[in-house]
Amino acid sequence: VDRAFLRSPRGSLKISRTLVALAALICFMASGSHEAYAALAGMETGITVLFLLLYLLRLDTQIRCFYWPLADVLNSMIAALFLLVVSLFAIIIKTNKGTLAGGVLGLVLLVLCLVDVILLYKKISLDKARGRSAPAK
């Protein structure tokens, strides 16, 4: 178990994303809003927990068939896009206060996803060759 990951900015961001997505899921389910809202919040909760466990248990170093930071960036970008649409619909339609609260939490989750993309982008260096020495002159 990588305890240092929990204290890192990326680890605390993953935990924050999980908690906000869970809170949005609870708001959507308690308010009886459209199933798509709850489905998106539930999927985001589950996927974020899986990435958190992947990094926490250091499985990303053992399973090398994927470049996990890039998969995480793609997940965060797609989640941000879906959250933007669904949260705006939930806020505009606002059938009740639970739907409105879930929509606002969805927008907070959208911001957390974008911050996660920025942190992961800083980690991934596409210009730098991985595992190679400097090119010969």
Average pLDDT over residues 48-75: 92
pLDDT at 29 exceeding the cut of 70: yes
In which band, very low, low, confident or very high, does the pLDDT at 135 lie, cut at 50, 70 and 90? low
Average pLDDT over residues 107-119: 96
How far apart, in whole angstroms, are the C-alpha atoms of residue 95 and residue 134?
Answer: 59
Confidence at residue 123, expressed as pLDDT on a 0 to 100 scale:
83
Going by the DSSP 8-state scheme, the letter that residue 94 receives in this structure is -
Confidence at residue 126, expressed as pLDDT on a 0 to 100 scale:
59
CB burial readout 55-78, b (16+ within 10 A) else e: bbeeebeeeeeeebbeebbebbee
Confidence at residue 137, expressed as pLDDT on a 0 to 100 scale:
53
pLDDT at 79 exceeding the cut of 60: yes
pTM of the model: 0.86
Nearest Cα residue to 54 out of 10, 85, 115, 108: 10
